């Protein structure tokens, strides 16, 4: 079955070489997937294309080695060129995550095909109206946030006046209620946020630093997965 019809957003790792305090990103991906993370996004604002292709290949091999290729989705942030090059080299990469100022989702769909996963960051202002009315014909899920301000992406949630607008739990519950697509929420997410986030009904949480910056990424990942599943 194509991953597009079968992906699980519940525990979603976003990671790149600049997030790992000098440790290999591949090792942290392996630990998170072993702990039960269900979705991996390769995201780097500093790596060159070749490094991104290599990390995407390594992530796909890690997921395959744990026999999870049919259950753990792998996407690349922003870089349609990297997804195409990785696929051309035989790497099993499921799709792409794009934001409001990135390559449009319909172009991603055109080049990646009907089986690819295309994730879209939901617009910060007027979030609830946006997800209700936006063209979802070629999008598979929404990424929303930030739940808290975050040093990983200081511009997340910035409004025209430069203030960071975070999402309340009530807004996220409403977002879940009105969204035609599954929603994953991130931005400063920590273990303590998960029970309230789960109660909103959203399909999952995404994290960078809670895993990639943790002293013990496996233990951190296991804790998040356990809390989400038992909340
Ligand atoms: C799952 C998920 N949700 C949101 C984002 C943010 O995407 P974007 O707004 O394009 O910002 P960058 O990540 O490209 O800086 C995401 N990456 N993943
Ligand atoms: C990619 C992204 N999009 C919105 S916030 C964010 C970064 C979240 O990072 P962290 O989990 O370290 O706060
Ligand atoms: Mg982007």
Instruction: Please tell me the distance from the alpha carbon of residue 65 to that of residue 25, in angstroms, as a whole number.
Output: 16
Residue-wise DSSP of the chain: --GGGS---SEEEEE-GGGSTTS-HHHHHHHHHHTT--EEEE--SS--HHHHHHHHHHHHHHHHHTT-TTTSEEEEES-HHHHHHHHHTT----EEEE-TTSS-HHHHHHHH-TTSEEEEEPPSTTHHHHHHHS--TT--EEEE--SS--TTSTTTTB-TTS-B-PPPHHHHHHHHHH-SS-EEEESS--GGGHHHHHHTT-SEEEESHHHHT-SSHHHHHHHHHHHHHH-
The CB density around residue 106, as the number of other CB atoms within 10 Å, is 12
The reply, when asked if residue 145 is annotated as ligand binding, is: no
Residue 1 is predicted with a pLDDT of: 67
Instruction: For tokens 């392996």, name the residue.
Output: 30
Which ligand 1 atom is nearest residue 101's CA?
A: 10
Q: Which residues contact 104 (CB under 8 A, 6 or more apart)?
A: 98
Domains annotated for the chain, with CATH where assigned, are: 3-230 (3.20.20.70)
| Ligand 2 proximal residues by C-beta, below 6 Å | 14, 145-146, 150, 152-153, 156, 186-189, 207-210
Residue 127 is predicted with a pLDDT of: 85
What the block records as the tokens of 31 is 């630990």
What does pTM read for this prediction? Answer: 0.98
Residue 8 is predicted with a pLDDT of: 98
62 CA distance to ligand 2 centroid (A)?
23
Instruction: Please tell me the distance from the alpha carbon of residue 97 to that of residue 191, in angstroms, as a whole number.
Output: 24
Instruction: Please tell me the distance from the alpha carbon of residue 169 to that of residue 199, in angstroms, as a whole number.
Output: 9
Residue 123 is predicted with a pLDDT of: 76
| Ligand 1 proximal residues by C-beta, below 6 Å | 12, 14, 41, 43, 77-78, 97-99, 102, 119, 121, 143, 153, 184, 186, 206
Residue 160 is predicted with a pLDDT of: 87
Residue 80 is predicted with a pLDDT of: 98
Per-residue pLDDT of the chain (231 residues; tens, 9 = 90+): 688 989 999 999 999 999 999 999 999 999 999 999 999 999 999 999 999 999 999 999 999 999 999 999 999 999 999 999 999 999 999 999 999 999 999 999 999 999 999 999 997 668 899 999 999 999 999 999 999 999 999 999 998 899 999 999 999 999 999 999 999 999 999 999 999 999 999 999 999 999 999 999 999 999 999 999 998
Residue 9 is predicted with a pLDDT of: 98
Interface predicted TM-score (ipTM) of this complex, two decimals: 0.98
78 CA distance to ligand 1 centroid (A)?
8
**Ligand 2 probe mutation, 145, 184, 211, 213, most atoms within 8 A of CB:** 145
Which ligand 1 atom is nearest residue 206's CA?
A: 1
């Amino acid at each position: 079955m194509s991953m597009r019809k079968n992906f699980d957003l519940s525990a979603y790792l976003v990671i790149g070489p600049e997030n790992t305090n000098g440790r290999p990103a591949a090792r942290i991906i392996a630990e998170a997937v072993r702990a039960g993370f269900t979705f991996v996004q390769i995201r780097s604002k500093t790596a060159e294309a070749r490094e991104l292709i290599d990390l995407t290949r390594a992530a796909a091999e890690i997921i395959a080695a744990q026999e999870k290729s049919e259950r753990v989705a792998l996407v690349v942030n922003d870089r349609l060129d990297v997804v195409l090059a990785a696929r051309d080299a035989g790497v099993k990469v499921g799709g792409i995550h794009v934001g409001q100022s990135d390559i449009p989702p319909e172009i991603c769909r055109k080049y990646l095909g009907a089986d690819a996963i295309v994730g879209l960051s939901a617009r910060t202002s007027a979030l609830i109206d946006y997800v209700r009315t936006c063209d979802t014909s070629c999008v598979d899920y929404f990424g929303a946030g930030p739940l808290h301000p975050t040093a990983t992406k200081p511009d997340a949630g910035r409004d025209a006046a430069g203030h960071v607008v975070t999402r309340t739990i009530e807004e996220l519950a409403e977002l879940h209620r009105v969204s035609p697509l599954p929603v994953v929420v991130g931005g400063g997410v920590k273990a303590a946020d998960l029970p309230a986030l789960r109660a909103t009904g959203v399909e999952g949480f995404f994290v960078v630093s809670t895993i990639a910056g943790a002293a013990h990424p496996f233990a951190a990942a296991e804790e998040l997965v356990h809390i989400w599943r038992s909340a």
